[in-house]
Chains A and B, each alone.
Chain A
Amino acid sequence: MDLHLDRISHRYGRVEVLSDISLTIPQGRIVCIVGPSGCGKSTLLRMIGGLERPDQGAVLQQGLAPADCLNPLTFVFQDFALLPWRTVAGNVELVLEDHPLTRAARDRIVADVLARTKLSDFRDALPKQLSGGMKQRVAIARALAVNPAVMLMDEPLSALDAQTRELLMDDLIALWTRAPFTAVYVTHNLAEAVRLGHRIVVLSRRPGRIREVLSIDTPLSDRRAGDPALEAHQARLWQLMRDEAEAADMELSDV
């Protein structure tokens, strides 16, 4: 299933947030969206996921989601959004309970995604017992459980420290290499973008417009931290963003 964003514009009151965004998200690829903070990345992602309606333009799905897909457009949130009163397994189960699955099928899915995210030993732990990195792995396991056609990830690693982020990036790459998924990955971290993105979309400061789309052809599994080619991409991205970020930082936000 591909996604097409067709000339999306949006404003909150007098503030124009997004302006004329057209973009294709091809199946099996990770599209990273980078841009200075406040430029409308999260807003755009909510629109892609159907949580918000754009003022103008539309988000179109092309092709059908796979038959075993329970929730085609699935979010991974920056702050994890785990239910604190449910265990790890319970949090994953939550998203399966509204689907007509047998008890056995549900248990099988939970066991499978927990194994894939290396959480099998923690299935009965409560979120308050977990570190930030583990919480986000639970959120990723929950997203994988519904077998999404497209994963919508809003700065999934931003709440984590640098080492954990590095480890989770490796986990994401391993997951993608085993079974390529489609993802829109919002971040303001350029290192993440060049490690994970097949395409990197640079947005300008508010109102967000597409400034440039960069393609990186190196397979994900071959990308290493400190790879000179990646560093070059990152430097170029930084050049594009620097002025925007500086200007965005000086802006008064009137909300």
Chain B
Amino acid sequence: MSELPLTGQGGVRDDARPVPFRGGGFKPVRLRFLGAAVIVALILFVEWGTRAGVISNLTLPRPSDVLGTFRDLWTTGMLWDHLIPSLTRLAVGSALGVSTGIAVGVMIGLFSLARAGLVPLVAAIFPIPKIALLPLFVIWFGIDEGSKYALIAFGTFTPTVVSTYGAVDNVDRTLIRMGQSFGLGWWSIVRKIVLPGALPGILSGLRIGLSIGIILLVAAEMLGARYGIGAYILEAGSLYDLERLFAGVVILSALGVLTSGAIGWAERRLLAWRV
């Protein structure tokens, strides 16, 4: 062994092999276009299938026909007649639900009294299918917008509360100790340490909350609305007009993708400090 030089390439014999690589994986990287490519491929497949007759026209509408319906919606202006009420309902309802959810969640996270009193209540209302309560909301808030706002607010409220107080629980206690040791006021500690520390958890709760909000939006509009995506889909469905049904569904998917994208964008902007 002693004749081997300690540095340089001199001592490498013929039977030397590279050490097998065993690391890697378990670390998602951002692949921008793959998601879109999967969707496009699926659409192209259905288009081909319906044209070639592999898929019958009664099973699935032809994507190009759906696109045509979509174009009609756009040119007649009906798209906005349906979309704007829906977006308003979603925005108002989820803004109400998310803001009260964050406030209650932070209270549960910070005060033992609120935790003891409210956690069982939240656990009790979390699994209720909120749509079952719509008749009740109609009595309380009226058949118009009020009941829809309430339903969406209620639906986004519970997941937001649960994720917020979990996130507050997970804020690094040494940071809070640090704040106290420097004599920071209670409100300063909440605002500058607890809330930013809980933000990652709150945002991922928001993802779930807003998806539930979209589901409830459609459900509420199906049960009683003249305009809105849900009403549009219901009408198309009762006429077995698959093109229009799918046009509505595509709008909903787009809404879901957009909200999820918006939250992703907010995460990258607001949570750039994460390692």
Contacts and interface: CB of A to CB of B under 8 A. Distances in A.
The yes or no verdict on A and B being binding partners is yes
Contact of B184 (A79, A85, A95, A126): A95
A83 B196 contact: yes
Interface stretch (A1-9, A70-78, A164-172): A70-78
Interface in B181-196: 181-185, 188, 192-193, 196
A98 B183 contact: yes
B2 interface: no
Interface residues of A, number: 23
B275 interface: yes
A183 interface: no
B143 interface: no
A95 B182 contact: yes
A83 B274 contact: no
B273 A84 contact: yes
Majority secondary structure, A binding face:
loop
Given A83-B193, A84-B274, A74 B184 contact: no
B175 to A, nearest CB: 6
Size bracket, chain B contacts:
10 to 19
B181 A51 contact: yes
B174 A79 contact: yes
A128 B273 contact: yes
Nearest to A73: B181
Given A84-B273, A128-B273, A75 B181 contact: yes
B185 A98 contact: yes
Interface in A34-58: 49, 51
A212 interface: no
Interface in A62-110: 70-71, 73-75, 77, 79, 81, 83-86, 94-95, 97-98
30 contacts: A51-B180, A51-B181, A70-B183, A71-B182, A71-B183, A74-B182, A75-B178, A77-B174, A77-B177, A81-B174, A81-B175, A81-B177, A83-B192, A83-B193, A83-B196, A84-B274, A85-B196, A85-B273, A86-B273, A94-B179, A94-B182, A94-B192, A95-B182, A97-B188, A98-B184, A98-B185, A128-B273, A128-B275, A142-B182, A146-B182
The 5 closest A-B pairs by CB, nearest first: A81-B178, A85-B273, A95-B182, A75-B181, A128-B275
Given A94-B182, A97-B192, 16 more contacts: A49-B181, A71-B182, A71-B183, A75-B182, A77-B177, A81-B175, A83-B192, A83-B193, A85-B196, A94-B179, A94-B184, A98-B184, A126-B273, A127-B273, A128-B275, A146-B182
